[in-house]
Amino acid sequence: MRNQPSNDREMKEAVFYTMDDFARIRKVDAHTHINTHNTRLVNFAKSNNMGLLSINVDVPEYPSLEQQQEFTTGQLKANPEHFAYIASFRIQDVEEPGWVEKTIAGIEEAFTRGAIGAKVWKNIGMEYKDKTGDFVMVDDPRLDPVFDFIARKNKTLLGHLGEPKNCWLPVEEMTVANDKEYFTHHPEYHMYLHPEYPSYQKQIESRDHMLEKHPDMRFVGAHLASLEWSVDEIAERLDRFPNLAVDLAERISHLQYQAVNDHDKVRDFFIKYQDRILYATDICVDDAMPLETVEANAYTIWINHWKFFVTDELMEAPEVSDKFHGLHLPTEVIDKLYTTNFKKWYPQQDAINL
Ligand SMILES: [Zn+2]
């Protein structure tokens, strides 16, 4: 079902952006991975009035966390008004004596160097087992002092915990093409192939339990908090946890998929939770990638998302098999999605001043 403004009053008062406004309106892409000293993509974003938040993360095929820290602090120096970053830490040595102190010292140093938050990744819950052979889950009490420290410093924890629900399905049953492609190339994270690993439900429960234990910590659930398949499920968590927001990184296709049959429901979700959602893509760049292609792809992604959020056009996306209408969100909601919520959920005065 497609939305029309619900009454004449909304019709008269609501103001909308157009495609021509894209370059003019201030924006932040709140989830990218800038693993290079080359400033071309950041400068290109800047020329489109967009700031980038880069996330350091302990992905095996990425440069080391130390190298990522060098890249991101370098980028921050080069473009302090259009770049910000989030630091990360290693979980592998969680059982070593002194892990808590060492980890907190590392995060504190990153904050001193300008990081506006810290990230935990799906290797918690999907990779590391302790000596007893149990997976280290995010509600593990051994992680509590680190989260307490982040909250005390008034920083934000960003968490990519669990995976899309599709990860527990065979590839041919997955709903969107980007998940099919990712899990085909990453069988190690395709949980349908690893029934002995913690279930989807278990991942979500341990994340929710961690949030229950840390009500004072701001938490951004990356990738729609791994509840991308249902706006109702995301809404339920946003209602339950006032200090939770979600980023859209690499999961907008799931909302487009839901918009095929439930357009109004997806639009209502954005209206109702307009203070809790951050625009984000998961665009990556490193030194092995041809920068011209990265730049062109980034522009295509940004402009197609803009079309989805600001217009009511019938459109298609490479990840989704059917057509859907844009959400036609009012300017007020778009501004929150693209800038205000970034400032609110990663509050640091000098972080990205467009
Ligand atoms: Zn990411």
CATH number at residue 209: 3.20.20.140
Among 241, 240, 327, 247, residue whose Cα is nearest residue 279: 247
Question: Is residue 133 assigned to a domain?
Answer: yes
Could you give the CA distance from residue 323 to residue 331 in angstroms, rounded to a whole number? 24
Could you give the CA distance from residue 240 to residue 254 in angstroms, rounded to a whole number? 22
Give me the residues near ligand 1 (ion), CB cutoff below 5 Å: 282
- Between the CA of 31 and the centroid of ligand 1 the distance, in Å, is 6
- Between the CA of 222 and the centroid of ligand 1 the distance, in Å, is 8
Q: What is the pLDDT of residues 206-220, one digit of tens each?
A: 999 999 999 999 999
Domain that holds residue 232: 8-345
Question: Is residue 2 assigned to a domain?
Answer: no
Question: Is residue 1 assigned to a domain?
Answer: no
CA angle 251, 257, 260 (to 5 degrees): 150
Could you give the CA distance from residue 317 to residue 160 in angstroms, rounded to a whole number? 24
Number of domains in the chain: 1
Question: Is residue 3 assigned to a domain?
Answer: no
Cβ-contact 344, 328 below 8 angstroms: no
Q: pLDDT grade, residue 353 (50/70/90)? A: confident
- Between the CA of 162 and the centroid of ligand 1 the distance, in Å, is 13
Question: Is residue 74 assigned to a domain?
Answer: yes
Mean pLDDT value across residues 96-122: 97
Q: What is the pLDDT of residues 298-342, one digit of tens each?
A: 999 999 999 999 999 999 999 999 999 999 999 999 999 999 999
Cα-atom radius of gyration of the chain, to the nearest Å?
20
Question: Is residue 350 assigned to a domain?
Answer: no
- Between the CA of 33 and the centroid of ligand 1 the distance, in Å, is 7
* pTM, entire model: 0.95
Question: Is residue 90 assigned to a domain?
Answer: yes
Q: pLDDT over 90 for what percent of the chain?
A: 93
Question: Is residue 163 assigned to a domain?
Answer: yes
Q: What is the pLDDT of residues 146-205, one digit of tens each?
A: 999 999 999 999 999 999 999 999 999 999 999 999 999 999 999 999 999 999 999 999
